[in-house]
Amino acid sequence: MVQNIIDVKNLSKSFDISSKEPGLKGTIKHFFRRQTKSLKVIKGISFEIKEGEIVGFLGANGAGKTTILKMLCGLIYPSEGSISVSGYLPFRRRENFLKSITLIMGQKQQLIWDLPPIESFYLNASIYDLDKFEAKKRIKKLSEMLEIDEELFIPVRKLSLGQRMKSELLAALIHEPNILFLDEPTLGLDINAQRNLRKFLQKYNKETNATICLTSHYMKDITSLCKRVICVHEGAISYDGELDLLLKKLSPVKEILIVCRSEEDAIKLENSGFTVKNKIKNEITIKIENNSITSSLKTILNNFDIEDLFINEPPIDEVIGKVLIKKDYDI
Amino acid sequence: MNLRKYLKVYKKFLHTSLASELEYKTNILVDLITAILSLVGSIFLLSIFFQNSGYIGGWKFEQALIIQAIYTILNGITNTWFNPNLTEIVKHIREGTLDFVLLKPIDSQFFISLKKINPSGFLEIMLGFLLLFFCIRINEINLNLIFLTLSLITISCSICILYSLWFFISTTTIWFVKTWNAIEVLRSFLYIGRFPLSSFSFSLRIFFSVFIPIAFITTIPSEVFLGLSVFWKILLEIIVAIIFLINSRKFWLFALKFYSSASS
């Protein structure tokens, strides 16, 4: 049986936030008497993640995804509740715990700006207590997986965003961590760079059985990497389960565009009891529930003269968008 | 703590920061020229103070030059290590890149205090030592083992006090986010350390000894050089240095509990 590597129980986090009224009067008031209030950004969440799982954290901006990730890797002290990652209390930041995790943030970088990435890799290798031979071996292996070569010897400031992100990944993975925390790793990357990064993460997960916790606003990252998603809404978990189930729940019907051989066939189909969305000449769009697609299509193909048909999936962004603004999804 | 590992990492820090700085040759050249001009300017200023009367606070010009030499060495150390690293703490906290430091299996205070060096500060340290050797000659100071040990101890204590003060102020960034002004104030107080403590009024002497022990930093090592020091003063400097160093460490660990990381 696969063991839980992350165990979170009733986790909460509050921050003191100061607010300011607009205008000069508000600024002066804010300077002399700052009004702060405690804001609960994470509200008693609980979940478990198994070894080797890739879990996507979904939520609108400010929902609390990054705060959860930062508590999991030990950067932020939780206000209430308990967290166990690889059997450690993350916020104690024990050496062995830190050697087993990594955090990659799409909008922040750890590479030394004026030097080629290779210098940062060797610096990280010395911090993780790797000897030169081992470091060289790992850099070679990871650079092959990431398909970077000459870029390793060019100053970071001269690299493209995509090349820089690959180098950031290499720097973050040189110690072969078994838990990866990725906070919007594809932010700002072009489509090809995004695809390559996803491909790499899939391969890394497959080869090392590393656990990956990912937040991203690019739905493609989530759909191609994560079987399981945890949806966060205003600091609480609104859904935790399989992505496919969520999609089915959110879009229970599919639209099917059927091109009939003649207009008469289209009229016959219109009157046969299916829910019709619209009909233009010999083209008719009907709505069928997900669980009866196969049987319905069989009936249509057997009883009507069909020239062509198209199954339209609703855009994933649109479907997931619904989850970001709703509180609860019981499945 | 694995000392071998820390030495290895420090070697890497030296290598990477030197390589980074050497990318900008003109900047280094300007820094070197600034260091020379700054020392010449300081000695000129000091000589003006001594023009009318030969003594200030009971110190001769040749003796006051020792304070200038120690100040130059300390300022060199400040520019080589403290300035590039400790001012960076503010940036780390404001931009949230401290996250990367905290997640490394290495002491975070070691990392943020020593990661960078500014090679042009080395010249200042060298100039300070040259001036110190010159002062030893003109003041006819007799070099012996006790003298060397005491001067080494007092200068090391001065470095510790200065580092702790600076680190303490930088750490408060975790709550206040911007503390550049406070660091600038500290730097300007450091200029005061170029003059003997006895040249100030009683109340200022108390202020610079008790509240902001800048005067300890240069005056006590200088007194050792001139054979004017008394045992209790050296002991007091050692105690102050230890208290400052321990408290800077404790304060850092305490402050980290309040670190909320920058939002993404």
Instruction: Kindly report, residue by residue over B20-34, the tens digit of the pLDDT.
Output: 888 777 887 888 888
Q: Which residues of chain B lie closer than 8 angstroms to A123, CB-CB?
A: 9, 12-13, 16
Q: For A185-192, what is the mean pLDDT? A: 83
Above 0.90 for ipTM, yes or no? Answer: no
Instruction: Kindly report, residue by residue over A238-249, the tens digit of the pLDDT.
Output: 889 998 888 877
Q: Is the pLDDT of residue A329 over 60?
A: no
Question: Is B4 part of the contact surface with chain A (CB cutoff 8 Å)?
Answer: no
pLDDT above 90 covers a percentage of chain B that reads 21
Q: Is the pLDDT of residue B7 over 70?
A: yes
A128 → closest Cβ in B15, B100, B105: B105
Interface residue of A129, A134, A216 to substitute, partner B, most B CBs within 10 Å: A129
Q: If pLDDT is split at 50, 70 and 90, which confidence band does A271 have? A: confident
A272, A312 in Cβ contact below 8 A? Answer: no
Instruction: Kindly report, residue by residue over B88-97, the tens digit of the pLDDT.
Output: 888 888 888 8
* Residues of chain A numbered 15-54 and touching chain B (CB < 8 Å): 15
Where is pLDDT greater, at A167 or A273?
A: A167
Q: How far apart are CA B42 and CA A261, in angstroms?
A: 97
pLDDT above 90 covers a percentage of chain A that reads 43
Question: So what's the pLDDT on residue A162?
Answer: 85
Question: So what's the pLDDT on residue B182?
Answer: 65
CA A75 to the chain's CA centroid:
20
Interface residue of B99, B106, B174, B177 to substitute, partner A, most A CBs within 10 Å: B99
Q: Is the pLDDT of residue B263 over 60?
A: no
Question: So what's the pLDDT on residue B179?
Answer: 61
Q: Is the pLDDT of residue A331 over 60?
A: no
Q: If pLDDT is split at 50, 70 and 90, which confidence band does A326 have? A: low
Q: How far apart are CA A238 and CA A329, in angstroms?
A: 6
Give a three-class secondary structure readout of A5-26: EEEEEEEEEEEEEEECCCHHHH
Q: Is the pLDDT of residue A2 over 80?
A: no
CB pairs < 8 Å spanning A and B: 79
Question: So what's the pLDDT on residue A170?
Answer: 93
B68, B194 in Cβ contact below 8 A? Answer: yes
* Contact criterion met (CB < 8 Å) for A108 and B259: no
Q: For B113-128, what is the mean pLDDT? A: 89
In chain B, which residue's Cα lies nearest the Cα of A125? B9
A248, A302 in Cβ contact below 8 A? Answer: no
Q: Is the pLDDT of residue B224 over 90?
A: no
State the greatest distance between any 2 C-alpha atoms of chain B, in Å, as a whole number: 62
Where is pLDDT greater, at B206 or A90?
A: A90
Interface residue of B100, B114, B176, B178 to substitute, partner A, most A CBs within 10 Å: B100
Q: For A46-71, what is the mean pLDDT? A: 92
Q: How far apart are CA B39 and CA B75, in angstroms?
A: 10
Q: What amino acid is encoded at B107 in this protein? A: D
B260 → closest Cβ in A76, A114, A184: A76
| Pairing relationship of beta strands A101-105 and A179-183 according to DSSP bridges | parallel
Q: How far apart are CA A148 and CA A125, in angstroms?
A: 18
Q: Is the pLDDT of residue A113 over 80?
A: yes
| Pairing relationship of beta strands A179-183 and A211-215 according to DSSP bridges | parallel
* Contact criterion met (CB < 8 Å) for A126 and B2: no
* Contact criterion met (CB < 8 Å) for A102 and B261: no
Query: What pTM was computed for the model?
Result: 0.80
Q: If pLDDT is split at 50, 70 and 90, which confidence band does A140 have? A: very high
Which of A318-327, B157-166, B226-235 is predicted with the least confidence, judged by mean pLDDT?
Answer: A318-327
Question: So what's the pLDDT on residue A8?
Answer: 95
A70 → closest Cβ in B2, B97, B261: B261
Other CB atoms closer than 10 Å to residue A203's CB: what's the count? 12
Q: Which residues of chain A lie closer than 8 angstroms to B264, CB-CB?
A: 66, 105, 107-108, 183-184
Question: Is A101 part of the contact surface with chain B (CB cutoff 8 Å)?
Answer: yes
Question: Coil, strand, or helix at residue A188?
Answer: coil
Question: Is B104 part of the contact surface with chain A (CB cutoff 8 Å)?
Answer: yes
Single out the residue of A255, A248, A254 nearest to residue A322, CA to CA.
A248
How far is CA A3 from each of CA A203, B135, B240, rounded to the nearest angstrom? Answer: 21, 70, 52
Q: How far apart are CA A284 and CA B11, in angstroms?
A: 73
Question: Is A107 part of the contact surface with chain B (CB cutoff 8 Å)?
Answer: yes
Where is pLDDT greater, at B18 or B43?
A: B18
| Pairing relationship of beta strands A35-50 and A4-19 according to DSSP bridges | antiparallel
Give the single-character DSSP code of B213.
Answer: T
Q: How far apart are the first and last CA of chain A?
A: 25
Q: Exposed, middle or buried, B105 (CB in 10 Å: 0-12/13-18/19+)?
A: middle
How far is CA B87 from each of CA B81, B182, B218, rounded to the nearest angstrom? Answer: 10, 11, 22
Where is pLDDT greater, at A69 or A269?
A: A69
Question: Coil, strand, or helix at residue A298?
Answer: helix
Question: Coil, strand, or helix at residue A159?
Answer: coil
In chain B, which residue's Cα lies nearest the Cα of A111? B100
Q: Is the pLDDT of residue B201 over 80?
A: no
Shortest Cα–Cα distance, B162 to chain A (Å): 27
Question: Is A108 part of the contact surface with chain B (CB cutoff 8 Å)?
Answer: yes
Q: For A76-103, what is the mean pLDDT? A: 93
Question: So what's the pLDDT on residue A80?
Answer: 92
Question: Is A100 part of the contact surface with chain B (CB cutoff 8 Å)?
Answer: no
Question: So what's the pLDDT on residue B261?
Answer: 67
Q: Is the pLDDT of residue B212 over 70?
A: no
Q: What is the mean pLDDT of chain B?
A: 82
Q: How far apart are CA B157 and CA A196, in angstroms?
A: 54
Residue with tokens 């696969």: A2
Q: If pLDDT is split at 50, 70 and 90, which confidence band does B13 have? A: very high
In chain A, which residue's Cα lies nearest the Cα of B253? A92
Question: So what's the pLDDT on residue B143?
Answer: 75
A314, A53 in Cβ contact below 8 A? Answer: no
Q: How far apart are CA A179 and CA A85, in angstroms?
A: 9
Q: How far apart are CA A202 and CA A196, in angstroms?
A: 10
Q: What is the mean pLDDT of chain A?
A: 87
The dihedrals phi and psi of B184, each to the nearest 5 degrees, come to -65, -40
Question: DSSP string covering B78-142, please?
Answer: IIIIIHHHHHHHHHHHHHTTHHHHHTSSS-HHHHHHHS---THHHHHHHHHHHHHHHHHHHTTPP
A110 → closest Cβ in B19, B100, B263: B100
B261 → closest Cβ in A76, A96, A119: A76
Question: So what's the pLDDT on residue A212?
Answer: 95
Q: For B186-202, what is the mean pLDDT? A: 69
